[in-house]
Amino acid sequence: MGKRQNTVYIIDDDESVRKAFGRLLRSAHFDVETFSSPDEFLQATIERERACIIADIRMSGSTGFALMEKLAAQGVNLPVIVVSASDDEHIREHVRELGAVSFFRKPVDDQALLDAIWWAISRTEEDKC
């Protein structure tokens, strides 16, 4: 089996959101893996090249904030795109402080999300040059 080209990890406790994002991203030819919690994701073996994460902020059991903090502590340098039904200045500021590359309020515009993913993945490739 060959190396994956582009992988997006979707982390959201809402199954319908995971399914909708998964369908959209597969139609755009991304490899997609979904997780119902940050803890489930952190226990998985993940591809770190040509990959990014889409994470919700508020999830049962944990938060997207905690996920980004744990990733940083573990030295995992994957771009994170945050999606949230909540949108206020405090959340947006905290997301930026934690290093998220994009923030979207649900519902998300499909094309804007796809553009953000391509941009995030291309940034990781440019960083290697």
Q: What is the pLDDT of residues 11-48, one digit of tens each?
A: 999 999 999 999 999 999 999 999 999 999 999 999 88
Rounded Cα–Cα distance for residues 43 and 5 (Å):
22
Q: State residue 47's pLDDT score.
A: 84
Q: Which of 78, 103, 106 is nearest to 92 (CA)?
A: 103
Q: Which residues contact 110 (CB under 8 A, 6 or more apart)?
A: 24
Q: Which of 106, 105, 20, 10 is nearest to 67 (CA)?
A: 10
pLDDT digits 0-9 by tens, 91-119:
999 999 999 999 999 999 999 999 999 99
Class of the CATH-defined domain 7-128: alpha beta
pTM (two decimals)? 0.91
Q: At residue 117, what is the residue type?
A: I
Could you tell me the residue ranges of all domains in the chain? 7-128
Q: State residue 26's pLDDT score.
A: 97
Q: At residue 126, what is the residue type?
A: E
Cis before 38? omega within 30: no
Q: Are 46 and 89 in contact (CB under 8 A)?
A: no
Q: State residue 1's pLDDT score.
A: 45
